[in-house]
Amino acid sequence: MVLRRTHCVRRTLAWMRRWGRNDAGNTSIEFGFVALPFLMLLFGIMSVCLYFFVNFTLENAVWQTSRALRTGQVQQSQGAYSQAQTTEDRKKAFKKTLCAKVPGFIDCDGKAIVIVQSNASFGGIAEPQCATNGVIMDEAAATFDTGGTSSVVLVTVCYPWEFGGKLPFIRLGNLADGSLLMQASVAFRAEPY
């Protein structure tokens, strides 16, 4: 019985030595250790790049679309805004023009909130609150006061971006539903049209 036990111990030790020298799967195991952090880093870099792309595109669209307010086309219903007679019509036409300038993967028509404020001086306009307690404002509550000739105008677009805010175990968004609030603004004095 002692001989049999000794034989089993020797066989086990011989098998463990052979297994210890076998390095056929080392690369797979090392890749397993490195793959997850690498993929997380890669996904993080792509998310940050996409965030800056969306933010820059939104800011550029607000800047380009606001040119029609600066020159008085919206206020006087001229050019692309010739069919807009009421303030609500002007607001819809302005938002439609804005949404035409952003990429298709941004749900501008459904989620972007356009706020236009005007005053006689730059000091008379305050930055609007796009969200309160983590909830984005309702579009019906957004003002659309384009002002008149030589008025100071502040155009603000609020957009809840969902891509970066829906990651598991990580909360990147600053809104209650997990999305990230993007806000693009442009302030200018309207031309004396």
Which of 1-10, 20-29, 151-160 has the least mean pLDDT? Answer: 1-10
Helix (H, G, I), strand (E, B) or coil at 52: helix
3-state secondary structure 81-134: HCCCCCHHHHHHHHHHHHHCCCCCCCCHHHHCEEEEEEECCHHHCCCCCCEECC
Percentage of the chain exceeding pLDDT 90: 53
Percentage of the chain exceeding pLDDT 70: 91
pLDDT tens for 38-94 read 998 898 888 888 889 989 999 999 999 999 999 999 999 898 899 989 999 999 999
6: left (phi > 0), else alpha (psi -120 to 50), else beta?
alpha
Q: What is the dihedral of CA 73, 77, 78, 81, to 10 degrees?
A: 90
Model confidence band, residue 11 (pLDDT cutoffs 50, 70, 90) = confident
> Across residues 127-134, what is the average pLDDT?
91
pTM, rounded to two decimals: 0.77
pLDDT at 15: 79
**Average pLDDT over all residues of the chain:** 87
Question: For 118, phi and psi rounded to 5 degrees?
Answer: -140, 155
Residue 164 pLDDT more than 60? no
5: left (phi > 0), else alpha (psi -120 to 50), else beta?
alpha
Domain spans, the chain: 26-189
Which of 7-21, 50-64, 126-140 has the least mean pLDDT? Answer: 7-21
